[in-house]
């Protein structure tokens, strides 16, 4: 019988799962050791199509930071992680960038996007021009914390 021991990583509890192939079960597998339904889903997925979220950075120009943190909008197949990195490492972006902004659409045809995971404002020179068009004081203040000492 095909069986695999694994540790569930859905949440920090880290339940120890035993997933066994069982054609009689509606899902095709029996999962033991899980304490919630998400654990059972995870166990079956690890046997059929293991997926992972990917977090990395891309080069950003015109900002105080040299790298923009990005992540996958969902999870992608585990075996595609390295290939995805190759695609992401070719990308360079310019500030400003908003949290959630799509950096790469539909990476490797997975249906998952690579999105920015933080706001990054432009450097002080460009920011001066930006301020002319920002009327909302809150946004200026928001820019201030991203920009701090450069004002």
Partner 1 sequence: MHYDIVVIGGGPAGLAAAIEARKNGAKNILVIERDRELGGILQQCIHNGFGLHTFKEELTGPEYAERFIKELITMGIEYKLDTMVIEISGNKAITAMNSTEGILHIQAKAIILAMGCRERTRGAVRIPGTRPAGVLTAGTAQRFVNIEGYMIGKRVVILGSGDIGLIMARRLTLEGADVLAVAELMPYSGGLTRNIVQCVEDFDIPLYLSHTVVSIEGNDRVKAVTIAQVDKNLKPIKGTEKRFECDTLLLSVGLIPENELTKSAGIELDNVTGGPIVNEAMETSVEGIFACGNVVHVHDLVDWVTEESKRAGRSAAKYIAGKTERNCKTIKVKGINGVRYVVPHQIRLDNVERTVELMMRVDNVYKDIKLVIKSGGEVIKEVKRSHAAPGEMENIKLDLSKFTPGDSDEIYIEVVKEEA
Interface positions with partner 1 (CB under 8 A):
6-7, 9, 11-12, 14, 16, 52-57, 59, 64-67, 69, 71, 78, 81-82, 85, 99, 117-119, 138, 141-142, 145-146, 148-149
146: closest CA among 34, 131, 19, 74? 131
CB of 66 to partner 1, least distance (A): 3
DSSP string, 70-138: EEESS-EEGGGHHHHHHHHTT-EEES-B-TT-EEESSGGGSS--EEE-S-B---HHHHHHHHHH---HH
C-beta closer to partner 1: residue 17 or 29: 17
Distances from the Cα of 67 to the Cα of 2, 97, 124, angstroms: 44, 11, 17
Residue for token digits 């899902």? 27
C-beta closer to partner 1: residue 29 or 97: 97
Q: Which two tokens stand for residue 92?
A: 């360079």
CB of 8 to partner 1, least distance (A): 8
CB of 39 to partner 1, least distance (A): 12
C-beta closer to partner 1: residue 25 or 118: 118
C-beta closer to partner 1: residue 9 or 134: 9
Q: Which two tokens stand for residue 136?
A: 């909302």
């Amino acid at each position: 019988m095909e069986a695999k021991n694994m540790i569930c990583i859905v949440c920090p509890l880290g339940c120890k799962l035993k997933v066994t192939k069982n054609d009689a079960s509606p899902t095709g597998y029996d999962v033991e050791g899980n304490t919630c339904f998400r654990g059972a889903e995870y166990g079956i997925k690890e046997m059929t199509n293991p997926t992972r979220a990917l977090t990395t950075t891309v080069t950003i120009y015109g900002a105080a930071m040299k790298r923009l943190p990005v992540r996958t909008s969902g999870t992608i197949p585990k075996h595609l992680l390295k290939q995805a990195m190759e695609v992401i490492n070719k990308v360079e972006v310019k500030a400003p960038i908003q949290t959630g902004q799509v950096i790469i659409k539909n990476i490797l045809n997975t249906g998952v996007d690579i999105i920015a995971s933080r706001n990054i404002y432009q450097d002080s020179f460009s920011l001066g021009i930006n301020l002319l068009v920002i009327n909302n004081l809150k946004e200026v203040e928001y820019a201030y914390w991203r920009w701090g000492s450069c004002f």
